[in-house]
Amino acid sequence: MFNPANYKIVDLSIGLEEGVESEPWPPKIERFDHEQGAELLAGNLRDNGFDIEAADFPEGMGLGWEQINAITHTGTHMDAPSHYGPTVNGEPAMTIDDVPLEWVRGHAVVLDFQWKKPGKEITTLDIKDQLAETTHELSDGDIVLLETGADELWGTKEYLTEFPGMSADATKYLVNHGVRVIGTDAYGFDKPFTEMGARYAESGDDSELWPAHFAGRDVEYCQIEKMANLDELPRRTEIPIIAQPIKIEDASAGWVRPLAFIEQ
C-alpha cells in the first residue's frame, strides 16, 4: 500500500510570477486584501437581497483572493496536442481537458543535456546516446525529462535564450517509442525564438520555425515546458511522477505542478 510518509516529494515546477523578466508575456495578478474581500462579499450578498455591509464581517475582514490574467503558457505548463495544430495525422487534436490521466503519471527518465550549447538542436543520436548512458530502454508510458540546466537562469532575460531545443526527428523518435509526455527545464521545447528567427531569415526554410512543436501534427504527444529542480532528483530512471494539468475547456495548454516521489 502506498504510504506518503515513505516518500520525499520533489517539486519540479515554477509558479506564476508577476513582472518576471523570464516571461515575454508575464501574468498580471490583482490582489484583494481581507478588507477589500469584505466589501466584495458584502456587495455580492446585497445583490442577492441581503442587507449587509463590510463592517458586519468579523473584524471587518472578509476573504482574501487574487484575480489572474495570464496565458495558459505562463509558468510551468503542459502543452496539449491542439497547441501544435488543429489535427494530428488528420484527426482532431486533443485539447488539454481531454488529455488522458494515464499519460500524466508514470515513471520518468531524465536525460542530461547540460552539455548541449544554447541554441543547438537535440538530435535523435543525442537522445540515443543519453539513453545508453542511463542503460534505460524506453517503454510505453515513460515520461522523458530533458535536463538543460536552464532553470538556474529563471528570473533573468537570459532564461529566454540560453538553452538547447529539441529537433523534430528527436521528438518523433521518443513518441514512436511509447513516450506520450516530454518535459524540459528550459523556457521552450524548441530552440530559442531568436535562434529560430535567425535561421529562418538566413535560409527562408519554414522548417526552421518550431520544428519540434510541429512534429506534434504527425505524432500525438504532450510537452511540459519551464520545469525546474531536475538536479534534485537522486537518480535518472524509474522516478515515480505525476504531472496532472489543470482542466481548461478546449484549451491548448494548462498549468501543471509536476511532482516526483522518491523513496526515503
Q: Among candidates 221, 249, 178, 245, which has minimal Cα distance to 88?
A: 221
- Dihedral of CA atoms 200, 167, 227, 115 in degrees, nearest 10, equals -100
| Domain shared by 170 and 242, yes or no | yes
Report H helices in 67-122. Answer: 81-84
**Which residues face 9 on adjacent strands?**
261
| Structural domain containing residue 58 | 28-69
Local structure of residue 245 (DSSP, 8 states): B
| Domain shared by 63 and 82, yes or no | no
| Domain shared by 120 and 239, yes or no | yes
| Domain shared by 82 and 169, yes or no | yes
User: 59: how many CB neighbours lie within 10 A of its CB?
Assistant: 9
Distance CA 141, CA 175 (A): 10
User: 44: how many CB neighbours lie within 10 A of its CB?
Assistant: 12
| Domain shared by 154 and 87, yes or no | yes
Quick check: is 225 in a domain?
yes
| Domain shared by 157 and 206, yes or no | yes
Distances (CA, A) of 18 to 23, 30, 63, 213, 238: 9, 10, 21, 26, 35
| Domain shared by 182 and 63, yes or no | no
Span 209-224, pLDDT tens digits: 999 999 999 999 999 9
Q: Of 48, 69, 90, which marks where a domain is finished?
A: 69
**pLDDT for the residue numbered 5:** 83
| Domain shared by 137 and 201, yes or no | yes
Q: Among candidates 42, 115, 99, 84, which has minimal Cα distance to 214?
A: 84
Span 130-161, pLDDT tens digits: 999 999 999 999 999 999 999 999 999 999 99
**pLDDT for the residue numbered 1:** 66
**pLDDT for the residue numbered 264:** 85
Spans in the chain with pLDDT lower than 70 = 1-2
The tally of domains found in the chain comes to 2
| pLDDT > 90 fraction of the chain, expressed in percent and rounded | 97
Distance CA 139, CA 177 (A): 7
| Domain shared by 158 and 40, yes or no | no
| Domain shared by 63 and 177, yes or no | no
| Domain shared by 111 and 239, yes or no | yes
